[in-house]
Every structure is written in C-alpha cells, then in structure tokens.
Amino acid sequence: MTTIATQLQTVRARIAAACLAAGRDPQAVRLLAVSKTFGPDAVAEAYAAGQTAFGENYIQEAVEKMAALSHLPLEWHCIGPIQSNKTRLVAQNFAWAHTVDRLKIAQRLSEQRPPELPPLQVCIQVNVDGGPTKSGVAPNEALGLAREVAALPRLCLRGLMCIPEPAPDFEAARAVFMRAKALFDQVNEAGLQLDTLSMGMTADLEAAVHAGSTLVRVGTAIFGGRSYAKA
Ligand SMILES: *Cc1c(COP(=O)(O)O)cnc(C)c1O
C-alpha cells in the first residue's frame, strides 16, 4: 500500500475508535480529506484508496486540481475563506462550501450557481470560541443567518462548521466543540433541518467526534505535513 493509503486507513480507524468510545455509529461521521497544497497525484492516490470527498482552501489552486482530475468522480468541498470576487468560481466548481459566514456571500453563491448543477451544499461557519481569526458568524447570529441562507433557491443549507483555536487537551477541545453541538441542536429545534456538523481536524478529531461532529476535515494525518505555511 502507498503511504497515503496506509495513513487513510489509520485515520478511518481513529474515527471508528472515537465513535465507539462515544457510543456513536461509525457511519455517522464522514471523512473529508483536506488536500490543500498537495498535487493531483496525492488526491488520485487517496481516491484509489477509497476516498472521494476532498477539501480545499485556496480556490484557484483547487480549480486547477479539479481540471487535472476531472476524469475521477470526486466531491469537492470549499473550506477556505470566500471573498466576494471568488464566489463565482466556488459556485461553478464545488459541491459544498463550508465557510459561508455572511448573507451577501450566500446570495452571490446562490445567484451564481449554474442551473445545470444541483444546489450548492453549504454550512455556516460559526466563530464558536471568539478566536482571533475572526472568520465565522457570532454564535448568537447563527440562527438568523441560517434562516436567511435556507431561503436562498440555489443553496441547500446542510449545517454548521467551526475551526476552534487549538486547545491544550481533549477536555478543553471537547468543551468548545460541545458549544457548536448545542448551537447545532438549537438551530434544528428552531425548525431548520441540518444534518452536518463540520468540525475536527488532525489534532482534535476525537474530541470533535465525541461532541457530535458528523464530518471531520483531515489533512496532515492523511497527506503529511504541508511544506508551505497556509492556514
Ligand atoms: C487545513 C485545514 C484542515 C485540515 O487540517 P489538518 O490539521 O492538516 O488536519 C481542516 N479544516 C480547515 C478549515 C483547514 O483549513
């Protein structure tokens, strides 16, 4: 097996073990392989090992990779910040966008989604810990934004996403993820039907799964360390 195949297997085993420890069905957590900074060959290797969903942060880099891999049935997720001047590329090329945090961006994505494609699947990014990155809507504004996004015709609101600051230990990480889970439950209780809670990365996926994540976004543990420093 290739290194990537072996590392994918290790990550899948980590997810399964975390589900078991939390009393959850392992099928309830999807793995998104975060391939930013890695080339088409690495993605193709992961695909050969059974991985179909890939996350990318940098729109231009992602679009080039998609073109190189258009012969494969891959599902691409945008997990990086979306500026207004990039919404068209996102709407035209991705299946999912996890980082919607403003109505204006959501409206542009909806307007620019090509009619021949299915609706763009979206998550609202929530700044759950008030972290200094400032990406994400404030928790007390999440429900309002969710209602507005859910009403847009060419978007399908699937859930919430968060990227908390690194925590010192499992319990601290879990406590922050539990706040995202509580918000997720609150939005669902308000009548929106969310099925996706996108949280957990290489360092904290166990804590995220324990708190109720339904989709973990893992890069380093699958592809190795990234050679240039980008978020
Ligand atoms: C890079 C990135 C990841 C993956 O991080 P790793 O620590 O390499 O697993 C997940 N989510 C987002 C939003 C990222 O930018």
Distance 220 CA to ligand 1 centre (A): 8
Structural domain span for residue 59: 3-223
Q: Mean pLDDT in the chain?
A: 96
Mean pLDDT of 40-55: 98
Please give the number of the atom of ligand 1 that sits closest to the Cα of 163: 13
Mean pLDDT of 82-108: 98
Residue 171 belongs to a domain: yes
Lowest mean pLDDT among 48-52, 106-110, 183-187, 224-228: 224-228
- Angle (deg, nearest 10), helices 103-112 and 142-150: 20
Residue 228 belongs to a domain: no
Chain segment 183-212, per-residue pLDDT in tens: 999 999 999 999 999 999 999 999 999 999
How many domains in the chain? 1
| Distance, C-alpha 172 to centroid of its chain | 21
Chain segment 128-152, per-residue pLDDT in tens: 998 776 789 999 999 999 999 999 9
Residue 82 belongs to a domain: yes
Query: pLDDT value at position 149?
Result: 98
Please give the number of the atom of ligand 1 that sits closest to the Cα of 32: 10
* pTM, two decimal places: 0.96
Chain segment 161-170, per-residue pLDDT in tens: 999 999 999 9
Residues 76, 79: Cα–Cα separation, whole Å: 10
Q: Radius of gyration over alpha carbons of the chain, in Å?
A: 17
Mean pLDDT of 92-105: 98
Residues 163, 96: Cα–Cα separation, whole Å: 17
- Residue 133 is encoded by which pair of tokens? 């990155």
> In terms of residues, how long is the chain?
231
Q: Which residue has the higher pLDDT, 1 or 75?
A: 75
CATH no. for residue 19? 3.20.20.10
Distance 203 CA to ligand 1 centre (A): 9
Residues 16, 21: Cα–Cα separation, whole Å: 9
The residue whose CA is least distant from atom 12 of ligand 1 is 79
Please give the number of the atom of ligand 1 that sits closest to the Cα of 79: 13
Number of C-alpha atoms within 13 angstroms, CB side, residue 35?
33
Residue 96 belongs to a domain: yes
- Which phi-psi region, left, alpha or beta, contains residue 191 (left: φ > 0; alpha: ψ -120 to 50)? left
Query: pLDDT value at position 231?
Result: 43
Residue 230 belongs to a domain: no
Residue 229 belongs to a domain: no
Instruction: Write down the residue that tokens 């590329």 correspond to.
Output: 89
Integer angstrom CA distances of residue 130 from 113, 159, 213:
31, 19, 19
Residues 114, 118: Cα–Cα separation, whole Å: 8
